[in-house]
Amino acid sequence: MTLPPAENLPRTDWTREEIAELFDLPFDELMWEAQGVHRRHHARGEVQLCTLLSIKTGGCAEDCGYCSQSAHAETGLKATKLMDVRAVLQAAAEAKDAGSQRFCMGAAWRNPKDRDMPAIVEMIEGVRQMGMETCMTLGMLTKEQAQTLAVAGLDYYNHNVDTSPENYENIISTRTFQDRLDTLEEVRSAGINVCSGGIVGMGETRGDRVGFIHALATLPRHPESVPVNALVPVKGTVLGDMLADTPLAQIDEIEFVRTVAVARITMPLSMVRLSAGRESMSEATQALCFMAGANSIFTGDKLLTTGNRGDSADAALFAKLGIVPMVSEEPMRRDEALEAAE
């Protein structure tokens, strides 16, 4: 397959057939193409460090089959109230001291209540005052809520599409794929940067992986951040129980790397984040993901309710690979700032 010339990127008119052709490339050719795209747009050898904190855990009304925080799951997870603002800011300060550049806060809600917004705003403002980027994931948003977050200075809003439109109803029944897109549109319209990706290893087909990348790569503007997650099967969740002790319980690592590479090629300016599931990946697999164009990770020992590799393991891997924490500007935000200045 012949890729379009660099000056024509980024494209938003990718077809599913083109994306499927990328997946089908010989592995070395796919990696070559992905690395070329990455080097044209991103600093070499730099990876963005982010920290994710659950600011409200469990009791979510949604029935996402992968999520231990769903009220429909039987994981024994105890639901909590929204964290105190001071405790959140303390966690953010510790994350900054550990080298994180972005602080992400997640609440297990179908959608936030208006009564919770003042505390949310205070968290955003407090983290920004520390000099860190802010990201929130709070579920579906109204136009007014998105505007409130924008006025508070929120840098990113995370709302994953999870999987292909066709597979979505097999994973979640309490909302639709269009609901996801509607929230992304509210976020974009409010002037907040979009963070949206998907989860692989949920028993989906390659066609579904093509479909989830196609959904993001054909948005009017690509997400500034694209997390690629590997399912962490949690006992007591629908998918955790369904996939436990089966060959589907963990996606083939080469197929995972292919997914990262295709995301990089189709969304060349986006930060592609190697997200959930990294704690079970070998160092070699993670290295291949970085070669394929992943340039953002979550640090620390925990991602919401599941494990993560931890700062010391990441530092050791970075040292082996000659990778350093990112100091360059993110391409899409840099270009946006230049356009605003003209």
Exactly one of 135, 175, 264, 278 is catalytic; name it: 135
Q: How far is residue 112's CA from residue 151's CA, in Å, rounded to a whole number?
A: 17
Other residues' Cβ atoms within 10 Å of the Cβ of residue 249: 15
104 in catalytic set:
yes
Exactly one of 273, 278, 289, 309 is catalytic; name it: 273
195 in catalytic set:
yes
Q: Please report the DSSP string for 148-168 in residue order.
A: HHHHHT--EEE---BS-TTTH
Exactly one of 102, 175, 195, 209 is catalytic; name it: 195
- Measured in residues, the chain has a length of 342
List, in sequence order, every beta strand (DSSP E) within 111-209: 133-137, 156-158, 193-195, 198-200
- Is the bond preceding residue 10 a cis peptide, omega within 30 degrees? yes
Exactly one of 64, 180, 278, 289 is catalytic; name it: 64
Q: How far is residue 42's CA from residue 329's CA, in Å, rounded to a whole number?
A: 9
Q: How far is residue 297's CA from residue 99's CA, in Å, rounded to a whole number?
A: 12
Q: How far is residue 100's CA from residue 130's CA, in Å, rounded to a whole number?
A: 11
Exactly one of 60, 102, 278, 309 is catalytic; name it: 60
Q: How far is residue 289's CA from residue 51's CA, in Å, rounded to a whole number?
A: 19
Exactly one of 50, 102, 104, 289 is catalytic; name it: 104
Give the strand pairing for 225-230 and 156-158.
Answer: unpaired
Q: How far is residue 188's CA from residue 219's CA, in Å, rounded to a whole number?
A: 11
135 in catalytic set:
yes
Give the residue numbers marked as catalytic: 60, 64, 67, 104, 135, 195, 273
